[in-house]
């Protein structure tokens, strides 16, 4: 779903800002797991049936888990730092970064009258472990009741060798 991808990309941009500024984690291969729940999304029964028939998860019906491996390099850190500043129609506030973690808020608007608002908290448990939470609310002009998404993110450093994974293309495992 586009909303999930957008929220994850926004989260990673937030996280990149903190990491690039304070460099509390190691460069190399990281394994991440994100568990998300979504409420407020009402799909037509025929769409739900089609998703179930294909063996695909139904957004909002139960938590969704995504596992990914990614390669972090100094160049990727720099890019992640610049990304939030380049994003049009978004503003960031309450950004706090220190050696133990970071938090911040984001608010974005769309040309169609929709908005995304959220809060993110990342905790640097060590230079090799990160834990975070994200809460996002997405509204649109056509559907003013928000879709709520909550995500828990856990990432672990796997080593300096990225094993062929490009810094620009994380590998989705599950």
Cα Rg of the chain (Å, integer):
17
- Integer Cα distance of 91 and 85 in angstroms: 9
Cα–Cα distance, 3 to 120 (Å, whole number): 16
How does residue 83 score in pLDDT terms, banded at 50, 70 and 90?
A: low
Give percent of the chain with pLDDT exceeding 70: 80
Point out the least confidently predicted range of 15-24, 39-48, 82-91: 15-24
Q: How remote is the C-alpha of 172 from its chain's centroid?
A: 13
CA distance 144 to 114: 8
Residues whose CB is less than 8 angstroms from the CB of residue 124 and which lie 6 or more positions away in sequence, other chains included: 22, 24, 25, 99, 100, 101, 130
CB-count exposure of residue 19 (10 Å: 0-12, 13-18, 19+): buried
CA 152 to chain centre: 9
- Global pTM value: 0.75
Quote the pLDDT of residue 153: 94
Q: For the chain, what is the domain count?
A: 1
pLDDT the model gives residue 105? 92
List the structure tokens of 172.
């989705």
Q: What is the mean pLDDT of residues 140-167?
A: 91
Is the CB of residue 128 less than 8 Å from the CB of residue 142?
Answer: no
Question: What does pLDDT average to over the chain?
Answer: 80
Residue numbers of the domain that contains 123: 2-172
Sorting pLDDT into bands at 50, 70 and 90, what band is 82?
A: low
């Amino acid at each position: 779903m586009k909303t999930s991808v957008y929220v994850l990309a926004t989260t990673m941009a937030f996280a990149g800002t903190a990491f690039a500024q304070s460099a509390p984690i190691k460069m190399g291969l990281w394994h991440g797991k994100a568990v998300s729940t979504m409420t407020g999304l009402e799909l037509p029964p025929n769409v739900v049936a089609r998703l179930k028939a294909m063996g695909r998860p139904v957004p909002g019906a139960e938590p969704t888990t995504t596992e990914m491996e990614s390669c972090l390099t100094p160049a990727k850190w720099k890019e992640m730092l610049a990304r939030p500043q380049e994003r049009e129609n978004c503003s960031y506030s309450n950004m706090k970064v220190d050696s133990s973690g970071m938090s911040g808020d984001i608010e974005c608007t769309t040309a169609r009258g929709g908005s995304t608002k959220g809060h993110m908290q990342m905790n640097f448990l060590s230079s090799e472990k990160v834990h975070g939470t994200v809460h996002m609310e997405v509204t649109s002009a056509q559907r003013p009741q928000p879709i709520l998404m909550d995500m828990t993110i856990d990432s672990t450093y796997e080593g300096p060798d990225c094993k062929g994974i490009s810094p620009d293309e994380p590998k989705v495992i599950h």
